[in-house]
Chain A
Amino acid sequence: MIWIKAKRVIKAGFVNFWRNGWISLATVLVIVITLFTIGSLIFSRAILGSMISQIQDKVDISIYFKTDAEESDILALKDSVSKLPEVKSAEYVSAEQSLENFKERHKDNALIMQSIEELGENPLGAMLNIKTKETSQYDSVAKYLESQSGTAGGSMIDKINYYQNKKVIDRLSKILDSAKTLGTAISVILVIISIIIAFNTIRLAIYISREEIGVMRLVGASDRFVRGPFIVEGVIYGVISSIIAMIIFYPLTLWLGPMTDNFFSGINIFQYYVANFGQIFLILLLLGVSVGAFSSYIAVKRYLKV
Chain B
Amino acid sequence: MIYFDKVSKIYSPTSIALEEISFAIEPNEFVSIVGQSGSGKTTMLKLLLAEEKPTSGHVFFESIDVHGVGRKELHMLRRKIGTVFEDFRLLPNKTAYENIAFAMEAAGKMPEDIEKDVPQVLELVNLVDKSWHFPDELSRGERQRVAIARAIINQPDVIIADEPTGNLDPLNTWEIINILKKVNEFGTTVIMTTHNKSIIDSLGRRVITLEKGKMVRDDKEGRYVI
Q: Which residues of A contact B (CB under 8 A)?
A: 1, 4-5, 8, 15-16, 19-20, 211-212, 215-223, 225, 306
B103, A220: Cβ atoms closer than 8 Å: yes
A220: B residues at CB distance < 8 A: 75-76, 78-79, 103, 106-107, 154
7 further A-B contacts with Cβ under 8 Å, apart from A19-B93, A215-B90, A223-B71, are A212-B91, A212-B92, A212-B93, A217-B74, A217-B78, A219-B83, A220-B78
**CB closest chain-B residue, reference A8:** B105
B57 to chain A, nearest CB (A): 21
Judged by a CB distance under 8 angstroms, whether B60 is at the interface is no
**Docked complex Cα distance between A223 and B78 (Å):** 13
Query: Chain B, 74-96, contact with A by CB distance < 8 Å: what is the 0/1 string?
Result: 11101100010000011111000
Judged by a CB distance under 8 angstroms, whether B110 is at the interface is yes
Which residues in chain B, 37-88, are within 8 Å of chain A measured between CB atoms?
49, 51, 71-72, 74-76, 78-79, 83
Query: B76, B90, B92, B154: which has the most chain A beta carbons within 10 Å?
Result: B92
B49: A residues at CB distance < 8 A: 218
**CB closest chain-A residue, reference B91:** A212
**CB closest chain-B residue, reference A226:** B106
**Docked complex Cα distance between A222 and B73 (Å):** 8
B78: A residues at CB distance < 8 A: 217-220
A221, B75: Cβ atoms closer than 8 Å: yes
B53 to chain A, nearest CB (A): 12
A20: B residues at CB distance < 8 A: 93
**CB closest chain-A residue, reference B51:** A306
Judged by a CB distance under 8 angstroms, whether B108 is at the interface is yes
13 A-B pairs (CB sep. < 8 Å): A8-B105, A211-B89, A212-B91, A215-B89, A216-B106, A218-B83, A219-B102, A220-B76, A220-B79, A220-B107, A221-B75, A221-B102, A306-B51
**Docked complex Cα distance between A231 and B106 (Å):** 17
Judged by a CB distance under 8 angstroms, whether B166 is at the interface is no
A218: B residues at CB distance < 8 A: 49, 51, 78, 83, 89
A4, B111: Cβ atoms closer than 8 Å: yes
B142 to chain A, nearest CB (A): 18
Judged by a CB distance under 8 angstroms, whether B150 is at the interface is yes
B51: A residues at CB distance < 8 A: 218, 306
**CB closest chain-B residue, reference A218:** B83
B93, A16: Cβ atoms closer than 8 Å: yes
A225 to chain B, nearest CB (A): 5
A19: B residues at CB distance < 8 A: 93
B93: A residues at CB distance < 8 A: 15-16, 19-20, 212
A225, B110: Cβ atoms closer than 8 Å: no
Closest 6 CB pairs of A and B: A221-B106, A220-B79, A220-B78, A19-B93, A215-B89, A222-B75
Which residues in chain B, 108-131, are within 8 Å of chain A measured between CB atoms?
108, 110-111
A222, B89: Cβ atoms closer than 8 Å: no
**Docked complex Cα distance between A20 and B92 (Å):** 10
**Docked complex Cα distance between A228 and B107 (Å):** 15
**Docked complex Cα distance between A216 and B103 (Å):** 8
B111: A residues at CB distance < 8 A: 4
B106: A residues at CB distance < 8 A: 216, 219-222, 225
**Docked complex Cα distance between A306 and B90 (Å):** 16
**Docked complex Cα distance between A16 and B103 (Å):** 17
**Docked complex Cα distance between A35 and B102 (Å):** 35
**CB closest chain-A residue, reference B156:** A220
Query: A15, A212, A216, A222: which has the most chain B beta carbons within 10 Å?
Result: A222
**Docked complex Cα distance between A223 and B110 (Å):** 19
**CB closest chain-A residue, reference B105:** A8
**CB closest chain-A residue, reference B92:** A212
**Docked complex Cα distance between A216 and B99 (Å):** 10
A217: B residues at CB distance < 8 A: 74-75, 78
A306: B residues at CB distance < 8 A: 51
A144 to chain B, nearest CB (A): 70
A216, B107: Cβ atoms closer than 8 Å: no
**Docked complex Cα distance between A219 and B98 (Å):** 13
B90: A residues at CB distance < 8 A: 215
**Docked complex Cα distance between A4 and B114 (Å):** 13
**CB closest chain-A residue, reference B93:** A19
**Docked complex Cα distance between A15 and B134 (Å):** 13
**CB closest chain-A residue, reference B89:** A215
A223, B154: Cβ atoms closer than 8 Å: no
B75, A1: Cβ atoms closer than 8 Å: no
**Docked complex Cα distance between A121 and B110 (Å):** 99
**Docked complex Cα distance between A266 and B49 (Å):** 69
**Docked complex Cα distance between A16 and B102 (Å):** 13
Query: B49, B72, B103, B108: which has the most chain A beta carbons within 10 Å?
Result: B108
**Docked complex Cα distance between A19 and B91 (Å):** 12
